[in-house]
Structures are given as structure tokens and as C-alpha cells.
Structure 1
Amino acid sequence: MTDGIELIHPVPYYSQWASPGLVREIVTGEIRAADDPLWAEYGATSPEEYDWWSWRLCGMACLRMTLRHWLGVAPPPLALAAECVGAGAYVRRGDGLDGLIYAPFAAHVSSRWGLRAEAHPDLPAADVPGRLASGELLMLSVHPAIREPHRVPPGKGGHLVLAVGATPEHLVIHNPSGFPGGSQEFARVPWNDLDRFYAGRGVTLARP
């Protein structure tokens, strides 16, 4: 899909949990997110607050990676989330959360951080390599089971990953809920498998 070209941007990785090495245990339920010893680094006031938000902030992990790569800053996830709530990109509803809502998120990132951000309700996978080659990073909506590309997921979308590169055979992603040792940073997803997970929408990010 990339005409023989391999392009990988050297983007730093952040998990959506404070301890990347514990993601497998948290996701599989072996431990609670509240038991993460680094919970305070998230910007939370309690382990319970951290537990509630950490399952929902894959988008903030993608934003942190982007900000660190281009601007050299990576505010705590909950600080970024609070700003997104104020911008209408997250909406609290009882004990639930609507979002990430792409259009207000893109507008907020553009005004707050000076990046060129654009929401794409229709973003074909075939467009991704060219956008990466032009210098963009892409937040893509995929099913969280993409951490294990051999699986057949029950649907598409619901989780955000950051596309950081492409090869003729693979999309290269930073997955905020990936498992250590294989599906977190610079994880390779075969193009032939991507369609099972990818919802065909996302947000593109670029330098000003």
C-alpha cells in the first residue's frame, strides 16, 4: 500500500494507563486500574478517579504522544481531559462519558496547541500512507481488539490509536491499550487485517 516505501515517525509512546507494564493485567481484570502504583502521575486526586478515567482516555494518550513529539510537552492525561470537557469534546452523562467527539476536539487542539487538526468522519485506510508521508499523524478509530490482530472483533471502532508509520505490509501504530512486549509502541498491523478493526474515521494532526 506504500509502493515499497517504509516510513516511521519517531514518536514517543504513552499508554492510557500510568504504568504501561501493567496494561495486560488491567485489561484482563487480573488487577484493578486503581491498584496501579503510578496513578497519581495521571493527575488524579484518588485511585478511584484514576480508575474511572483511565479506561476512557485513549484519545488523550494519542494527544500526549503528538504533543511530546512536536512540542516537547506532555501534560497529565486528566489535565488534557478537563480541557476537552470544557471544549465539548467530552460530555459527562451520569456515570458515563460521551466522546471523544472529533469536531470540537480538532477545533480545541488547533486553538489550544496551534496544531492543524481536522476531524474526518470518512477517512479511508488507503489515504493513511500518503498522509503519513506528508508529515501528519493520525488518530484512528479501531476496535480495541486490534492489540491482537489475529482476532476477529465483534465490531469496528470504539478505541483510538495513533498511526505513526507505514510499510508495504503494515500500518504502524502506537496503541494506548496495547500489551507490553508486542502491541504497544510501533506495533505492526497487517493492512489485510486492518479492515476488521478500523471504523474508517479519525482525526488528522499536523504541524502548523
Structure 2
Amino acid sequence: MTITTVHHVPYYSQWESADLVPEFVSGTRSAATDPRWESSGAESAQEYAFWAPRMCGMACLRMALGHFGQPVPPSVPLVREALAAGAYVRSGDQVQGLIYAPFAAWVRSRWGLVAEARPELAVEEVDAEIAHGRLVLLSVHKNIRTLDPQPAARSGHLVLAVGSGLDHISIHNPSGFPEHSQQFHHVPRADLGRFYAGRGVVLAAP
């Protein structure tokens, strides 16, 4: 690939206070103390604190909705809809998801967007989707935010691929660090394989 493609997608963190993400992820500050928690649409600070670390997928969806000209709902009401659609399954304090197939079906029926679950998605295919004007949710490890040399896994977190170039994939990371790895974060191709699970969801305008 020789041409850089970048889609100018709005950014949303999975926490309302994107500037406080380093404190939230390190545990030095509870999400329940986020001064902007009410903007999430949660009924309480505790409801927000439960979901904020788990709703990377909803943050990616909000970015995509904004990019494709759709209204962008608050994050926690989106979580509730996703639960009803089977994209998340909650059992007590345990949450399974984001589950790609019901998520994609919900996005198609709810907003009329193209949404395709891709259990196998090579990096070259991500490039092709971006070149055709699409966005791609990628399953990665959360430590992609710091390009950790030895991440514990290749999944568990979702980021939104918004661009690609000769030597990198550009992502919006819902749990990225401010001024470093939140918006248009260039992940070198040489590093991506340590984090990327090879699956995701392709989103596009109808």
C-alpha cells in the first residue's frame, strides 16, 4: 500500500472525561468520581462506573455514527440497547461482549448502516475497507495505547481503524491517553500483530 487514507472521524472516549483516562486506567481515580459522568446518560455514578471500563465498543459506535451523519446518543443508553439486542450479555458483575453478530444486526436494523461481523479479517483487508470509505472496529489488547512490547493477549478491547498508510494503521482508541494515543494514533504495522486478534466489524454508510 502506498497511499495514506484518513477519515476525519469524531473522537469519543469510553469515559466522559477523556483527559482523565490515565487516572481511570491506573486505578488512581474511580470512574464514579468522573465530573462529567451525567453526560453518559447513566442513572447514577455507580452505573456509569460499572460500564465505563466495558464500553469501548459503544465509544467506537458513537464515533462511527457521528462520521456517517447519524445522531450520537449518550453512551449508557446505547449500552442498554446493546444489552437488549444481545450484543452484551450480563450476569451479575460479569459481562460477555461485545458479541459481533448481534451487534452488527442491531446496527443494521437501528440505523440502516452497513455492518458486517468479520471473524477473520487480515490487516490487508482492513486497508481495503478503509480505502473504500469504511471504518473498522478491531479487536486488540488494551495495551496498544502504549505499544507494550509484551501484551498479555491479542484481544479484550476495541478500537476504531480510521486510516491506513504505508507503515501504519491509524486508530481512534476509546481508552487511549490524551495527546498520545486517543485520536489518529499511528500504530506501526510492525507492532500491530502483537495486539490485533485478526477480527472485527466493518461499518459503512448504506
Corresponding residue for residue 25 of structure 1: 23
Corresponding residue for residue 193 of structure 1: 191
What CA distance in whole angstroms lies between the structure 2 residues aligned with 1:176 and 1:79? 17
What CA distance in whole angstroms lies between the structure 2 residues aligned with 1:117 and 1:72? 14
1:86 to 52, 67, 84: 84
Paired residues of 1:87 and 1:108 also in contact (CA < 8 A): yes
What CA distance in whole angstroms lies between the structure 2 residues aligned with 1:107 and 1:48? 29
Count the aligned residue pairs: 206
What CA distance in whole angstroms lies between the structure 2 residues aligned with 1:187 and 1:16? 16
For structure 2, the 5+ residue unaligned runs are none
Q: What amino acid is the match of 1:196?
A: R
1:130 to 128, 131, 147: 128
What CA distance in whole angstroms lies between the structure 2 residues aligned with 1:68 and 1:131? 18
What CA distance in whole angstroms lies between the structure 2 residues aligned with 1:53 and 1:98? 12
What CA distance in whole angstroms lies between the structure 1 residues aligned with 2:22 and 2:14? 12
Counting only pairs closer than 5 Å after superposition, residues 1-208 of structure 1 correspond to structure 2 as 2=1, 4-208=2-206
Q: What amino acid is the match of 2:193?
A: D
Q: CA deviation at 1:151?
A: 2.7
Compute the RMSD of aligned alpha carbons.
0.8
What CA distance in whole angstroms lies between the structure 1 residues aligned with 2:46 and 2:117? 32
What CA distance in whole angstroms lies between the structure 1 residues aligned with 2:138 and 2:83? 20
Q: Report which stretch shifted further, 177-186 or 67-76.
A: 67-76
- For the residue of structure 2 that corresponds to 1:12, the secondary structure is coil
What CA distance in whole angstroms lies between the structure 1 residues aligned with 2:110 and 2:195? 31
- For the residue of structure 2 that corresponds to 1:55, the secondary structure is helix
What CA distance in whole angstroms lies between the structure 2 residues aligned with 1:72 and 1:114? 10
Q: What amino acid is the match of 1:126?
A: E
What CA distance in whole angstroms lies between the structure 1 residues aligned with 2:33 and 2:115? 35
For structure 1, the 5+ residue unaligned runs are none
Paired residues of 1:145 and 1:151 also in contact (CA < 8 A): no
What CA distance in whole angstroms lies between the structure 1 residues aligned with 2:150 and 2:123? 18
Q: CA deviation at 1:79?
A: 1.1
- For the residue of structure 1 that corresponds to 2:182, the secondary structure is coil
- In the superposition, the TM-score normalised over structure 2's length comes to 0.98
Identity of aligned residues (%): 56
- For the residue of structure 2 that corresponds to 1:198, the secondary structure is coil
Paired residues of 1:70 and 1:207 also in contact (CA < 8 A): yes
What CA distance in whole angstroms lies between the structure 1 residues aligned with 2:147 and 2:126? 18
- In the superposition, the TM-score normalised over structure 1's length comes to 0.97
After TM superposition, which residue ranges in structure 1, 4 or more long, deviate above 2 angstroms?
Answer: none
